Amino acid sequence: MIDLHYWPTPNGHKITLFLEEAGVEYRIVPVHIGAGEQFQPDFLRIAPNNRMPAIVDHEPVGGGESISIFESGAILLYLADKYGQFIGTDLRARTETVQWLMWQMGGLGPMLGQNHHFNMYAPEKIPYAIDRYVNETNRLYGVLDRRLEGRDFITGSYSIADMASYPWIVPYERQGQKLEDFPNVQRWFEAIRARPATVTAYAKGAEIGGQKLMTEEAKKILFGQTAKGLG
Ligand SMILES: N[C@@H](CCC(=O)N[C@@H](CS)C(=O)NCC(=O)O)C(=O)O
Q: pLDDT tens across 46-77, in order?
A: 999 999 999 999 999 999 999 999 999 999 99
Whether residue 93 has pLDDT greater than 70: yes
- Predicted pLDDT of residue 8: 97
Nearest-atom number in ligand 1 for the CA of 50 is 17
- Predicted pLDDT of residue 231: 55
Q: What is the mean pLDDT of residues 148-154?
A: 98
Nearest-atom number in ligand 1 for the CA of 221 is 17
Q: What is the mean pLDDT of residues 118-132?
A: 96
* pLDDT (tens digit per residue) in 204-229: 999 998 556 688 888 888 988 888 87
Signed CA dihedral, 36, 53, 99, 175: sign only: negative
Going from the Cα of 162 to the center of ligand 1, the distance in angstroms, rounded, reads 19
Nearest-atom number in ligand 1 for the CA of 7 is 9
Nearest CA to ligand 1 atom 1: 71
